[in-house]
């Protein structure tokens, strides 16, 4: 079992941001997590990573129950790519040390690293087509380059779970497809980590994401196979507006019907 959440809620003041979530992710199941802005996706991820603590309910990640295990150790087995992570990185840091810092899941490099670590960081940059950026400082990288560096960083430690929180935000069409291609090749590897791909764009969901969790106003609207959930009828219910879903090249494309959405 990779993630097990039972009756998890997270309240802030008198607001319930995450409401009674039950969700199980088994080994080798790749999930997409879909929800509109503000539906609670990032909050749910912060709960998984132990950055915040559930108000009620239990969370078990990679076989460890929260409250009974050192989260700093657990986090080393979780790769994490998100824009909030980007904001925490130091802009003057160079790309190669950023990738290297993934080994201990730190922001900046404090620990000692051996030659094998440096070679692994270089090899990962090679894999993600960013070798030429090794000595560039983070603040000079384009958004697409940053995301690739962050994915390389997240894989530095051979994580069992890789979480990608809206990784295509701010990418142009081609950079997006390039990044998706890389994600698809990570998923197809024999030793691939379990992937969780978070987005509010249906078209980004790759065929490898066979399972989907639909989050609506902090609640689970559906947790099932992607091909079961992603129909015009179910998505219209999820979004509360009539939408049409088409499947092309094993990806889902959504069109909003009429002007119902504007009422
Ligand atoms: N620390 C916090 N304190 C209060 N409200 C929060 C906090 N973090 C998130 N929220 C609120 O919880 C809701 C869900 O946010 P978030 O999980 O970031 O959504 P998503 O990632 O799906 O866009 C939003 O309404 C947001 O304003
Ligand atoms: Mg978010």
Tens digits of per-residue pLDDT, 30-66? Answer: 999 999 999 999 999 999 998 899 999 999 999 998 8
Q: How many angstroms is it from 44 CA to the middle of ligand 1?
A: 9
Q: Which pLDDT tens digit goes with each residue over 88-118? A: 788 899 999 999 999 887 787 777 889 999 9
Q: Is the CB of 35 under 6 A from ligand 1?
A: yes
* Ligand 1 nearest atom to the CA of residue 215, by list position: 22
Q: Is the CB of 92 under 6 A from ligand 1?
A: no
**Cβ–Cβ < 8 Å for 163, 45:** yes
Angle subtended by helix axes 143-155 and 115-127, to nearest 10: 140
Q: Is the CB of 194 under 6 A from ligand 1?
A: no
Residue nearest to atom 26 of ligand 1 (CA): 38
Neighbour-count burial for 183-204, b at 16+ CB within 10 Å, e otherwise: beebbeeeeebbbbbbbbebeb
Phi, then psi, of 240 in degrees rounded to 5: 65, 25
- Residue from 42, 43, 48, 218 whose mutation best tests the ligand 1 pocket (most atoms within 8 A of CB): 43
Q: What is the pTM of this model?
A: 0.93
Say if residue 261's pLDDT is above 70.
no
Q: Is the CB of 199 under 6 A from ligand 1?
A: no
């Amino acid at each position: 079992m990779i993630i097990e959440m039972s009756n998890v809620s997270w309240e802030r003041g008198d607001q319930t941001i995450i409401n009674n979530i039950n969700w199980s992710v088994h080994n080798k199941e790749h999930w997409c997590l879909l929800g509109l802005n503000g539906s609670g996706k990032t909050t749910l991820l912060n709960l998984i990573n132990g950055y915040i603590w559930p108000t009620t309910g239990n969370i078990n990640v990679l076989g460890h129950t929260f409250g009974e295990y050192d989260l700093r150790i657990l986090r080393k087995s979780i790769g994490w790519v998100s824009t909030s992570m980007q904001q925490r990185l130091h802009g003057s840091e160079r790309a190669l040390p950023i990738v290297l810092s993934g080994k201990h899941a730190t922001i900046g490099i404090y620990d000692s690293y051996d030659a094998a670590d440096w070679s692994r960081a270089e090899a990962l940059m090679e894999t993600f087509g960013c070798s030429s950026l090794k000595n560039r400082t983070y603040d000079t990288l384009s958004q697409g380059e940053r995301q690739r560096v962050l994915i390389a960083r997240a894989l530095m430690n051979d994580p069992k779970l890789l979480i990608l929180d809206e990784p295509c935000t701010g990418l142009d069409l081609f950079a997006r497809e390039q990044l998706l291609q890389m994600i698809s090749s990570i998923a197809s590897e024999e030793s691939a980590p379990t992937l969780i791909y978070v987005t509010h764009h249906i078209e980004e969901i790759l065929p490898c994401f066979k399972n989907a969790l639909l989050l609506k106003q902090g609640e689970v609207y559906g947790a099932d196979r992607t091909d079961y959930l992603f129909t015009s009828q179910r998505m219209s219910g999820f979004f509360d507006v009539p939408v049409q879903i088409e499947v092309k090249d094993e990806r889902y494309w959504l069109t909003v019907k009429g002007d119902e959405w504007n009422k």
